[in-house]
Amino acid sequence: MKLIPLFLCSCLLTCTCSSSDSERRRISYWPNGTIKSFWEETVDSCEIKREYHPNGVKKSEAKHEISGRLLQLTEWDEDGNIRQQLFGPKEVTVDLSSMSAEILKTYEIPSWTYNLYARNNSNITDSFLLRIGKHELLSQIDVTGCTSLTEKNIQAFKQIRPDVKVIR
């Protein structure tokens, strides 16, 4: 049997496992081979997601109800210091309404975000809108007055994520 080194395909690797107690897990890896994120669905109808910095230090740990409400969140910086803790249940909204174009180019929306408020921010572009479609918990985005967005790409986003309410 021929073995393929894990580090060659680590940036594309996602594992899903099942067990008899109905737990499901997904793991993704950074290109350097360290864990990027770990998600599991527990038997008590909750989801736990852990994200890690490229250096292996835990970045965030969030526990959600299956319905999407946040129960608990802790975030750490790259040195392991706690940056933020939230205790729920609650739905989290991130305000992008005054974020600059330069910051938006590299801004990573936290994985625990449910709603984005970007009203009247002309820096919200089509490419940004399509990039945020990967966020599993996202349920609503308000892009009212975002003049840089085209109707074509708003419709494309709705096709990719029909579960996300787009307020225009």
122-152 pLDDT per residue, tens = 999 999 998 888 888 888 999 999 999 999 9
- CB-side exposure of 108: number of CA atoms within 13 Å? 6
Kindly tell me the sign of the dihedral angle through the C-alpha atoms of 132, 87, 59, 19. negative
Neighbour-count burial of 145, counting CB atoms closer than 10 A to its CB (0-12 exposed, 13-18 middle, 19+ buried): middle
Q: What is the CATH number of the domain that holds 15?
A: 3.90.930.1
Q: 10 vs 100, which has greater pLDDT?
A: 100
- The confidence band for 60, taking pLDDT boundaries of 50, 70 and 90, is very high
The CA-atom distances, in angstroms, between 17 and each of 8, 61, 156, 163, 168 are: 21, 20, 32, 25, 39
11 and 85 share one domain: yes
Least confident among 2-6, 28-32, 33-37, 74-78: 2-6
Q: What does the alpha-carbon distance between residue 39 and residue 17 come to, in Å, rounded to a whole number? A: 11
Query: Of the candidates 58, 90, 122, which is a domain's last residue?
Result: 90
pLDDT of 25-48, one tens digit each?
899 999 999 999 998 988 777 889
Give 155's pLDDT tier (boundaries 50, 70, 90): very high
Please check whether residue 2 lies inside any domain of the structure.
no
| In-domain check, residue 75 | yes
| Predicted pLDDT of residue 34 | 94
Q: What's the pLDDT score for residue 23?
A: 53
Domain ranges, residue 158: 91-168
